[in-house]
Amino acid sequence: MHSEVIEAPLNHITITDPFLGEYQRLIRDVVIPYQWQALNDAIPEAEPSHALANYRIAAGMQQGEFYGMVFQDSDVTKWLEAVAWSLSQKGDPALEQTADDVIELLARAQCEDGYLNTWYSVKEPGLRWTNVAECHELYCAGHLFEAAVAFYQATGKRRLLEIACRFADHIDTVFGPNEGQLRGYPGHPEIELALMRLYEVTLEKRYKDLARFFLEERGKQPYYYDIEFEKRGGTWHWNDWGDAWMVKDKAYTHAHKPLNEQDQAVGHAVRSVYLMTGLAHIARMTQDEEKRQTCLRIWNNMVHKRMYITGGVGSQAVGEAFTSDYDLPSDTAYAESCASIGLMMFARRMLEMEGDAQYADVMERAFYNTVLGGMALDGKHFFYVNPLETQPKTIACNHVYDHIKPVRQRWFGCACCPPNIARTLVAIGHYLFTPRKDALFINIYAGSKARFEIEGKSLQLRIDGNYPWDEQVTITFDNATPVAHTLALRLPEWCENPTVQVNGERAQGGVIKGYLHLHRHWQQGDCISLTLPMKIMRVYANPRVRHTAGKVAIQRGPLVYCLEEADNGADLHNLYLPQEADFRLEQGNGVLKGKVLIQTEGARLATPSEGEALYHFNPRRTALQPQTLTFIPWFSWANRGEGEMRIWINEQA
């Protein structure tokens, strides 16, 4: 069951999909250059970033003081990671040179002993590793490692990897179970998953062991966060919700008990999914059944009881956190873009371990809904928070909506989600395919070209179609030499009657955990043809979810749809979808060109005239009037200005 995954360098997967290709173009042409300007403080209307200046000061190349958050360094390494994956998709010598220069800057900022963190080097020298609960040193290290692996895999260049390894080696001397070492672990997980990535490309066993140390030490009593808190004299860093709350609230950081005793998705949602990504990775690579069981428990709780239909997780703004089972409010949702990216990462690792389509189903749901929805169609505006329902005039006045924005915001207001969306979109090839020893799993049928090495032979294939809009997908093979291998084709949960043909014949194979496994000597000219009927599905939530009682949502393929005021008028809460409605597809116009819209005949409870009573006793006033309903893919909402939006709508019996 713990089949080995073959790590494919990303430059062997190229996105050719027009839909995702446009997103990659936006990352390349708009997001990466804009972020570069921001890192250089060259955007007049933006808050200064100072992130590159911090490195220059640490490197002794510039005078000045540290400026920014305790995790400011990670803005640079996330940018480097996005650049790396982007270069893997399309070469750009000038951009690569810029990145090389940044990498040299990092090298110069790195301390003799391998330490690399500008907050501590510049602002608080001598206080290194005194507050791992709150101060993101290990988190920043993790993003450096991820960038290093990406840059190596995309370009073959080892310079950043060497910087990362020097720092990892240093951390490995500081943390550990031995006399004189700190038995700490990060407040914000990230280094665990990054160490596993570093292990995959370097095969340095110490990195895997250090990841395991962090994961196994977490939550042991006495709590390390309390120990270091006492040691530094009871000081703390974050003040938002009261004194030393981040030290005290152990569940917020998933350090309230050892991971093998945890069984619920709690606390800060992003930290949870990052943590579980690392845990699932090591569980597979070390065939550790106890860790695997923890992953399964947390996954099941998270996905089967605490996930929005959009693949969003984290139901509340306070603590950007999970709440309780089946508590999924549409309007006060947090559902941070980064949390869905982390959910994709967690799903990817579970999929590698389990070869089960349920993980791909969730990965796809998170990607095509919340993650894509996190960025505007112009590539210039972003959502942190992704509500499933919003009414702008109310969010302006009721403070329970303070975290909700009616439209996406310009980049500079926020430094976390936009670069995360950027690196995910350019690395999306990672998620389409899962190359395991037992089979090459094809998870998401986005247009792409890929080459995999199978026992020394090269398997080359191309996916064509217009996913996720059209039902037809073809997979054609380009390798002249036949390769004997199993292809595992995902049969999506949303598809009732998929059909698969190989070279015009009905495919012969077994369905295992939601994948059709086809074994064959694949060679040039072979063609798999999939038909994935995209019936318009009415989705119902489990009746334990009280926010969706009596309501229905619309989904086609992996895309969740919504109503917007622009098409349907205001007061969307008064619209009804009849139980027996017939749907028709429409082509989007203007900014929605290329998107498939859905129309049907529904009904509206008319908004009464201005003076009408607030309460009345007359049931006849609730009579419904016919109205055409127009649904758009939810990821594309708020691209036509401010207005109401709603996913879950009233069902008319």
Q: Which residues are catalytically annotated? A: 320, 416
Q: Which of 332, 386, 479, 636 binds its own copies (CB under 8 A)?
A: 332
Q: Which of 232, 521, 544, 584 binds its own copies (CB under 8 A)?
A: 544
Q: Taking Cα atoms as reference points, which of 161, 166, 143 lies closest to residue 151? A: 161
Binding to its own copies (CB under 8 A) within 552-591 occurs at: 571, 573-574, 579
Size of the site for its own copies (CB under 8 A): 61
Would you say 2 and 436 are in contact if contact means Cβ atoms under 8 Å apart? no
End-to-end Cα spacing for the chain: 46
DSSP string across 434-477:
EEBSS-EEE----SEEEEEEETTEEEEEEEEE-TTT-SEEEEEE
List b or e across 153-181, with b for residues whose CB sees 16 or more CB atoms inside 10 angstroms.
bbbebebbbebbbbbbebbbebbbeeeee
Stretch of residues binding its own copies (CB under 8 A), selected from 152-160, 186-194, 543-551, 625-633: 543-551
Q: Which of 616, 625, 628, 641 binds its own copies (CB under 8 A)?
A: 616
Tokens of 391: 């009414």
Q: Taking Cα atoms as reference points, which of 328, 321, 277 lies closest to residue 305? A: 328
Q: Which of 61, 127, 318, 511 binds its own copies (CB under 8 A)?
A: 318
Decide if residue 650 touches its own copies (CB under 8 A): yes
Please state, in angstroms and rounded to a whole number, the distance separating the CA atoms of residues 1 and 437: 11
Decide if residue 45 touches its own copies (CB under 8 A): no
Q: Which of 1, 127, 480, 549 binds its own copies (CB under 8 A)?
A: 549
With respect to its own copies, which residue has the nearer C-beta, 477 or 494? 494
Decide if residue 614 touches its own copies (CB under 8 A): yes
Decide if residue 626 touches its own copies (CB under 8 A): no
Closest separation in Å from C-beta 564 to its own copies: 15
Please state, in angstroms and rounded to a whole number, the distance separating the CA atoms of residues 262 and 156: 40
HSE of 249 in the Cβ direction (CA atoms, 13 Å)? 18
Decide if residue 127 touches its own copies (CB under 8 A): no
Q: Which residues contact 647 (CB under 8 A, 6 or more apart)?
A: 309, 310, 330, 388, 389, 553, 560, 561, 562, 563, 634
Q: What three-state secondary structure class fits 320?
A: helix
Decide if residue 538 touches its own copies (CB under 8 A): yes
Would you say 574 and 604 are in contact if contact means Cβ atoms under 8 Å apart? yes
Decide if residue 550 touches its own copies (CB under 8 A): yes
Stretch of residues binding its own copies (CB under 8 A), selected from 83-91, 184-192, 517-525, 609-617: 609-617
Task: Report the DSSP pairing between strands 440-442 and 483-490.
Answer: parallel
Binding to its own copies (CB under 8 A) within 402-421 occurs at: 402
Decide if residue 329 touches its own copies (CB under 8 A): yes
Stretch of residues binding its own copies (CB under 8 A), selected from 101-109, 125-133, 315-323, 451-459: 315-323
**CA angle (587, 588, 589) in 5-degree steps:** 120
**468 prior amide bond cis, ω within 30:** yes
Q: Which residues contact 396 (CB under 8 A, 6 or more apart)?
A: none
Q: Which of 234, 242, 608, 641 binds its own copies (CB under 8 A)?
A: 608
Stretch of residues binding its own copies (CB under 8 A), selected from 38-46, 149-157, 270-278, 386-394: 386-394
Q: Which of 398, 508, 524, 587 binds its own copies (CB under 8 A)?
A: 398
Q: Which of 180, 222, 399, 506 binds its own copies (CB under 8 A)?
A: 399
Closest separation in Å from C-beta 189 to its own copies: 22
Decide if residue 303 touches its own copies (CB under 8 A): yes
Residue 211: its H or E element: helix 205-217
Tokens of 261: 């005793």
Decide if residue 105 touches its own copies (CB under 8 A): no
Please state, in angstroms and rounded to a whole number, the distance separating the CA atoms of residues 56 and 53: 5
Decide if residue 293 touches its own copies (CB under 8 A): no
Closest separation in Å from C-beta 250 to its own copies: 16
Closest separation in Å from C-beta 45 to its own copies: 24
What are the residues binding its own copies (CB under 8 A)? 303-305, 307, 309, 315-319, 323-324, 326-327, 329, 332, 391, 393-394, 396-400, 402, 494, 537-546, 549-550, 571, 573-574, 579, 605-608, 611-619, 621-622, 650-653
